[in-house]
Structure formats: structure tokens, C-alpha cells
Amino acid sequence: MELLGRKIVFVMAGILLLWGISDCTVKAKSPYPILYDQSFSEDENYIIIKEDPSEYEVAKGDSLWKIAERTFGDGRYYTELIKNNQDILQNPDLIYPGMILEVGREGYIEKEGGPMGMSTPEFWFDFPTGWTVGYLQSGEVGANLTISGSGMNDVACLIQKRMKNTVPDASDWEKYVQQIKDHVQEKYSDSVSELSFEHYQVNDEDLYLYSYIYTVDGADYGLQGTMQIHVCAALRLTEHIQAEYIGFSRDEEIDEIVRYMGASFEELEMNGELSVGMAIFPDFAWEAEGMYDSFSWIAGYFDAVFEKATEKEEEKSLRDRLLAD
């Protein structure tokens, strides 16, 4: 509980310090980018990650270079189009309007390669060097396994046996995407923005992610202005385990950190129940059954943090006035 107390106080102090600063971060080099244009050998330390393929309908005037430039941001990746569509591209110079191409790339993320990581007999996953393992709670909301960096950089972890109703097939992901969008529209349209989705294959296993910005309105807590918090939620599915992560930070790089943690997850040996129970609490009911509702968790967590932080400030202000008298 002492660790929990220190963490809560630090988060509250950091929030009040950062409040009202529109851009307090300096954009640094991406910590775990997906690399596409570098060669690597079999003995290097990397995670192969495949983009979720999508379809592209060839338009008049298109070339593979133009399509790669439009979809990948660089025409040089036209070779990925050839590799993905070998069955219909017998001659890459001959494409025609109406042809449907599969668009997707295979890249890799370099592993950190340090001695750290979260390990049990059943699974392992990596996290950034210098980050620590702890427990996090704010009000009734928390997690009994949280990976934390300096400042307001935290990733809550939920590791459990794979449930039967959790995204049973990649084709169902679009259904989940729509359910999540509807949930946000119904309950969090004023506080959630820039919602985006990703789907990858890692070792022929699914990794699903969605990211958004959660905006705290200071007027709800007697403060002026707003604060934007970057959030990324991930679901990694292995044969017997589902690992979920909810990362939040003032820095948009939390997306790459959560993606890296999810991509690095490995099931080691699962013969029964997990030896270590890792939970995010409480449970929230929503339409996307089998996945955890990160929106309600984030809203509840920061509501309790701000309520406590402003309460402490009011107590301090009253104490100072009394001492002054």
C-alpha cells in the first residue's frame, strides 16, 4: 500500500503541475517503430509484425508505384503489393481499373534486448528499460499489475485465460470496431477524440489495438482549461491466453509502447490455470463482449484522481489561510 500511496500522490502532483499546459512534451524519436525498409538476418533480435490486409480497387491511371505511395506513403513499397498479389499479378506492369489488390505489409519491431520483462511459467512480455512493475488504483478503479515509467506513463495489464467470446475470428474485428465506435458515440462523444484502430498478425496470432485522446474538462473539477491524455488499448490473443493492456500518457508515444508490449507477448506453457492472477478492475459491461472497456476505466480512473487532487489542494489552501490568520 505504501507503493500505491506514493504513486497516487505523484500522479496527482504531476496532473496539477501539467494542468493548463497545451503542449508539455517534446517529440522524441519513436521508441518502438515498425520498420519496413531495413534488412535483417535470422539471428537478429526482432518481432515480425504483419499489417492487417485490406483491399484496394485499381483506378484509371494507377500504377503499383502510385498505389504504394497512396497506401504506404512511399512508392518504393510497390514490391509489397507484388508479394501480396502474386496470384493475380503475373505481369506487374499490367494492372487495370477494377482489379482488386490486397494491401498490407510485413515489418518488424526491434526488441529491446535487455534483461527486463514480465515473466511467469506461462507467459512472458517485454517492456521499456527503466520502467517498473507495481500496483495502481484511483478510487474504485485500478490494476494489480501496472508497468510504469516516469511521470504519467502507465500501462495496466490484464492477463487471463482466453475466453470463448473474445474476437473468435479476425473477420469479426470489424463488428467489434463498430461496437466500440457506437459505445464512444453514446457515452463519451464529448471526451474521446481521434479514435483509430489497428490489427496485426504476430507469429500467426492476432494483435488488436485502438487508440484515442481522452480530454478532461477542468470545469468539472473547479479548474480552467482542459487536459488531453493519450490512451492506447491492446488485445493479444495466443492459443490459451488473452493479454490486454491499457496505456495512458501525456505523450502519444504510449501507442508504440503498448503495441510493443502486446507484440512481444509469448505464451510459454499453459497446462491449467494461470499461476499469477493479473486483473484490471472493476468489470464494466459493454457491447464489445470479451474485451475490456478501456473508456470506462480511463474515465473512472481520472475522475477519481482529479477529485482527490483538487480536494487536497482545497485542504492545503484552507490550511494556509488558517495559518495566515
What DSSP string describes 89-126?
A: -SSTT---TT-EEEE--EEEEE---SS--EE-SSEEE-
Please check whether residues 195 and 263 belong to one and the same domain: yes
81 assigned to some structural domain:
yes
* 98: CATH: 3.10.350.10
Please check whether residues 67 and 27 belong to one and the same domain: no
How far is it, in rounded angstroms, from Cα 197 to Cα 218? Answer: 28
Predicted local distance difference test score (pLDDT) of residue 114: 64
Please check whether residues 150 and 196 belong to one and the same domain: yes
Please list the rounded mean pLDDT of every run of 10 residues in the chain (325 residues).
38 50 52 78 78 85 90 83 86 88 86 80 93 93 95 94 76 89 97 95 93 95 90 95 96 94 93 78 92 97 88 54 48
Predicted local distance difference test score (pLDDT) of residue 273: 80
Is-contact 305 15, C-beta < 8 A?
A: yes
84 assigned to some structural domain:
yes
How far is it, in rounded angstroms, from Cα 72 to Cα 66? Answer: 10
pTM for the model stands at: 0.81
43 assigned to some structural domain:
no
Predicted local distance difference test score (pLDDT) of residue 234: 97
Predicted local distance difference test score (pLDDT) of residue 26: 46
Residue span of the structural domain in which 131 resides: 2-32+116-311
Please check whether residues 250 and 274 belong to one and the same domain: yes
Predicted local distance difference test score (pLDDT) of residue 23: 45
Please check whether residues 141 and 283 belong to one and the same domain: yes
325 assigned to some structural domain:
no
Predicted local distance difference test score (pLDDT) of residue 128: 93
299 assigned to some structural domain:
yes
CB atoms within 10 A of CB 186: 10
322 assigned to some structural domain:
no
Please check whether residues 21 and 146 belong to one and the same domain: yes
Predicted local distance difference test score (pLDDT) of residue 79: 85
Is-contact 111 126, C-beta < 8 A?
A: yes
CB atoms within 10 A of CB 36: 16
Q: Tell me the CA end-to-end span of the chain in Å, nearest whole number.
A: 36
Please check whether residues 95 and 208 belong to one and the same domain: no
Please check whether residues 214 and 77 belong to one and the same domain: no
Predicted local distance difference test score (pLDDT) of residue 200: 93
* 223: CATH: 3.40.1000.10
How far is it, in rounded angstroms, from Cα 9 to Cα 297? Answer: 19
151 assigned to some structural domain:
yes
Is-contact 248 229, C-beta < 8 A?
A: yes
Query: 495566515: which residue's cell?
Result: 324
How many domains does the chain fold into?
2
How far is it, in rounded angstroms, from Cα 305 to Cα 215? Answer: 14
* End-of-domain residue from the set 45, 76, 103: 103
Please check whether residues 96 and 145 belong to one and the same domain: no
* End-of-domain residue from the set 64, 81, 103: 103
Q: Provide CB contacts within 8 A for 269, sequence distance 6+.
A: 121, 122
Please check whether residues 156 and 258 belong to one and the same domain: yes
* End-of-domain residue from the set 81, 103, 125: 103
Please check whether residues 73 and 129 belong to one and the same domain: no
323 assigned to some structural domain:
no
Predicted local distance difference test score (pLDDT) of residue 209: 96
Please check whether residues 69 and 156 belong to one and the same domain: no
How far is it, in rounded angstroms, from Cα 125 to Cα 316? Answer: 42
